[in-house]
Structure 1
Amino acid sequence: MNNNISSLFVESLNELNISERQKSVLQASLTLFSEQGFENTSTTEIAQLAGVAVGTVYQQFNNKEGLLQAVLEPVITEVIPKVASEFANGIQAPQGPNFTEFLQNIMQDRMQFVIDNLPQIRILVRETMVNQKIRNQMKMELAKLPFAKLKELFVYYQEQGQLVDWEFSRILRAIIGAMCSYLVPLIFEPNKTIDVAKASQDAAETLIKGLKP
């Protein structure tokens, strides 16, 4: 399973009908926007990393905002759905009625994914907060994410008496909220770190107190 946003971004660009120069500019933009932030990145730096003239950047994209949109669109419409699909397909069927262990495993997996891709996720989150167009795109794509298999597993644990009989969306919000309490500080505090194994264990132990029947 490929969990690297940058690699999946390159794959998505290869599927588009664009020139190699455009691909280089978009790859360089994602790298620099992620590492330095959108506001702190100049088109000159993008051109240098992409190995093209500054004029080439402006020929393909009207301005830096247009370039940002061109970078984030495939991330939102191609990369995120692919990551979600691969995660859903990789979820293992439970071997027994141990919801706590299952919960910790999926939380640790997703928390590790965020940490491994933190620079890219940081720019995506920040721009989603301030850009209405990007925010609307995110909402549409998130609504399409494949949760059917995860929902089936929640039903299994409910039938085993290990999980409270709540709607799937309510349980999912609780899990996402618990993970965000650990992950959001990492997005806004670049020097902050966490022990993923311990954080996922602590989060699961806290959640399970409210999710038991």
Structure 2
Amino acid sequence: MSEQDKMIDELFNHEEELTEKQKKILAAAIEAFAEKGFAATSTSEIAKKAGVAEGTIFRHYKTKKDLLLSIVAPMMAKLIAPFVIKDFDKVLKADFETFEEFLRAIIENRAKFIIHNMQLFRILIQEIPFQPELKEQFKEHIAKKIFTRFERVIEYYQAKGQIIEMPTYSAIRLTISTIFGYVIARYLLLPEADWDDPEEIERTIQFIMHGLSPKSEI
């Protein structure tokens, strides 16, 4: 079984058994949406990639958007959400003496996750801003759960005097936006650039620490 087939089986094993044609359609759609985006991909292209007639796609999915949602919804509900929360919990529940150590663990954790789920992550990032249904599912499955856990971490390091006093949501927003700015640039926008990963990670961490540390510690 190919890696693509394993991914399809993992995503859709809650449904009745998929036919080989359905698996090919889903695999082709994931590849095409990741490469070109939803809007720029036609169902005829997906059919050609899958080696099926275009009409076969519409026998299973009423519209191209139904096909997108059939991929991304279970991706978040089954693949991303449980693993993100499970993996993230490993980081959030670990004992790190300093907020800086915690940041290093977070970046390492997310980079590994994205590398192993690159196509799916690309689709998610590309389409969430334009698909209200996906935005709501992302907020429900991931954002709310992670935010609650991250709040406790910020409060913990504030109590230790390692983070300046500010609303926790502001500290979370500034931290997450900086980390994901690095991750998205590194793995999605400019993966071909000559990255010095250890140096970039260190710069990212120091940028966050400079903004959040009490003045005496800068």
Residues 78, 208 of structure 1: CA spacing in aligned structure 2 closer, same or farther, 3 A cutoff? same
In the alignment, which residue of structure 2 is the partner of 1:201?
202
Equivalent position amino acid for 1:19 in 2: L
Equivalent position amino acid for 2:22 in 1: Q
Unaligned runs of 5+ in 2: none
User: Which of 1 and 2 has higher RCO (CA within 8 Å, sep 6+)?
Assistant: 1
1:58 paired to 2:87: no
Q: What is the rounded CA distance, in whole Å, between the counterparts of 1:47 and 1:93 in structure 2?
A: 47
Q: What is the rounded CA distance, in whole Å, between the counterparts of 1:103 and 1:190 in structure 2?
A: 22
In the alignment, which residue of structure 1 is the partner of 2:74?
74
In the alignment, which residue of structure 2 is the partner of 1:210?
211
The question of whether the paired residues in 2 share the 8 Å contact of 1:10 and 1:27 is answered with no
Q: Give the SS at the match of 2:144.
A: coil
Equivalent position amino acid for 1:212 in 2: S
Unaligned runs of 5+ in 1: none
Equivalent position amino acid for 2:210 in 1: K
In the alignment, which residue of structure 1 is the partner of 2:177?
177
In the alignment, which residue of structure 2 is the partner of 1:12?
11
How many angstroms does 1:29 deviate by? 1.2
1:114 paired to 2:91: no
1:106-185 equivalent positions in 2, closer than 5 A? 106-185=106-185
How many angstroms does 1:161 deviate by? 2.5
Equivalent position amino acid for 1:17 in 2: E
The question of whether the paired residues in 2 share the 8 Å contact of 1:5 and 1:120 is answered with no
How many angstroms does 1:62 deviate by? 1.8
In the alignment, which residue of structure 2 is the partner of 1:101?
101
How many angstroms does 1:144 deviate by? 3.4
- Identify the range of structure 1 (73-82 vs 197-206) with the bigger mean alpha-carbon deviation: 73-82
How many angstroms does 1:188 deviate by? 4.4
How many angstroms does 1:6 deviate by? 9.1
Q: Give the SS at the match of 1:163.
A: coil
The question of whether the paired residues in 2 share the 8 Å contact of 1:111 and 1:179 is answered with no
Q: What is the rounded CA distance, in whole Å, between the counterparts of 1:59 and 1:154 in structure 2?
A: 50
Residues 195, 111 of structure 1: CA spacing in aligned structure 2 closer, same or farther, 3 A cutoff? farther
Sequence identity percentage: 28
How many angstroms does 1:68 deviate by? 1.5
Q: What is the rounded CA distance, in whole Å, between the counterparts of 2:9 and 2:195 in structure 1?
A: 29
Q: What is the rounded CA distance, in whole Å, between the counterparts of 1:208 and 1:103 in structure 2?
A: 9
How many angstroms does 1:86 deviate by? 1.9
Q: What is the rounded CA distance, in whole Å, between the counterparts of 1:6 and 1:101 in structure 2?
A: 38
Show CA shifts across 1:54-74 (max 9, x none).
332110112322211222221
Structure 1 ranges of 4+ moved more than 6 A:
none
Residues 135, 146 of structure 1: CA spacing in aligned structure 2 closer, same or farther, 3 A cutoff? closer
Q: What is the rounded CA distance, in whole Å, between the counterparts of 2:120 and 2:194 in structure 1?
A: 16
- Identify the range of structure 1 (46-55 vs 176-185) with the bigger mean alpha-carbon deviation: 46-55
Show CA shifts across 1:72-115 (max 9, x none).
221233333113212223225225x3221221221232244335
Aligned residues: 209
TM-score for the superposition, normalised by structure 1: 0.77
The question of whether the paired residues in 2 share the 8 Å contact of 1:107 and 1:200 is answered with yes
Equivalent position amino acid for 1:31 in 2: E
